[in-house]
Amino acid sequence: MHYVLHGYYGAGNIGDDAILESIIDSIFLDDQNARFTVISKGVKSAYKGPRKVSVNKSSEVEKIRLAIKSCDRFILGGGEFYKIIPVGSHKMH
């Protein structure tokens, strides 16, 4: 089965990267044939474990679209998805 995971992985937050490793290792316990693609904000792979993991940077829109379209399971989680904008820094229309 092909799993695609999206999160704020590989950006220097050890907690998010630990969650990613835990997700991959947990899935692998039940599915030894699992293939993983991680969509990451980070500049390098956040996963340091023994499994083979493909990485697509969040700026690679076409690769992401194809990975999601071809996956069996999509997992959204890990990290900050919504950037907090300070009050007064944007205009309301």
pLDDT tens-digit series, residues 41-73: 765 566 667 777 777 776 778 888 898 999 999
Residues in the chain: 93
User: Looking at the predicted structure, is the pLDDT value of residue 36 above 80?
Assistant: yes
The pLDDT value given to residue 93: 45
Distances (CA, A) of 76 to 64, 68, 86, 87, 88: 13, 11, 25, 28, 30
Structure tokens at 31: 């599915």
Task: Determine if the pTM surpasses 0.75.
Answer: no
List the single range of 14-23, 31-40, 42-51, 69-78 with lowest mean pLDDT. Answer: 42-51
Distance between alpha carbon 35 and the CA centroid of its chain, in Å? 14
